[in-house]
Amino acid sequence: MAHTKVVNQRNEVVGEMDLADEIFRVEIRPEILHLAVRSHLAKLRAGTVGVKTRGLVRGGGKKPWRQKGTGRARAGSIRSPLWRGGAVVHGPVARDYGFKINKQVRRLALKMALSSKYATESLVVVDKLALERIKTKDFVACAKGLGLKKALIVVSEPDSNLTLSARNVPGMLVVEPSAINVYEILKYPQLVLDKGAVEALHARLK
């Protein structure tokens, strides 16, 4: 059974906590993490591009000139892709870039991401993380006390004081256990969990 020390907001050790081996000591496979990150980023792409084909461009219903006898090339529409103001051939269209990966693979990738933080000693477990007021200065002082520079902070219960105080601090993000994903765990060099968040992850991933 893996275990780690538990600290308070002043970075004082107040105890220890057991971590499930099947979550925090999983063999790391880069190809699984890469697949999960690709899937997450693909779903974030808007895909709201698009151009007009001949069927969508307004006008062009009437033949510009008769077929023969003018000495000019044949033309059937002023909205031909060859004409200025005409349609676009094989242009980009709106699409969904996301692709699905199996639920078991997503869970495994999340475990691997958590295991990577534990293996590199980038995981910090605090007994409780809370602020009495909405004040960025208070959050910066708390983060400095914990030795945090760029961190993903996971709290078990929604705390508007903490979330609003952290949102203007570069490199800091506060989320709940249900909102964490592989991309953000790997993106931030440090991962902070409160005791409730660890218990929530145990319940979710065991």
One domain, residues 72 and 158:
no
The predicted-structure confidence for 19-55, as pLDDT tens digits, reads as follows 999 999 999 999 999 999 999 999 999 989 889 988 8
Same domain, 190 and 133: yes
Distance CA 161, CA 183 (A): 25
Is there a single domain that holds both residue 61 and residue 120?
no
Work out whether the CA dihedral 88, 91, 92, 93 comes out positive or negative: positive
Q: Are residue 59 and residue 18 in the same domain, yes or no? A: no
Which of 60, 93, 126 is where one domain is finished? 93
Distance from C-alpha of 34 to C-alpha of 42, rounded to nearest angstrom: 12
Same domain, 57 and 138: no
Inter-CA distances, 204 with 95, 114, 177, Å = 33, 13, 9
Residue 83's pLDDT is 92
Same structural domain, 118 and 181? yes
User: Looking at the structure, do residues 123 and 153 belong to the same domain, yes or no?
Assistant: yes
Question: Taking Cα atoms as reference points, which of 118, 80, 109, 101 lies closest to residue 198?
Answer: 118
Same domain, 66 and 135: no
How many structural domains are present in the chain? 2
Q: How far is CA 45 from CA 97, 134, 179, 180, in A?
A: 7, 33, 19, 19
- pLDDT tens for 80-123 read 999 998 999 999 988 999 999 999 999 999 999 999 999 999 99
Q: pTM for the full model?
A: 0.83
Strands 151-154 and 190-194: parallel
Structural domain of 10: 2-45+99-205
Amino acid at 132: E
Residues 129, 82 share a domain: no
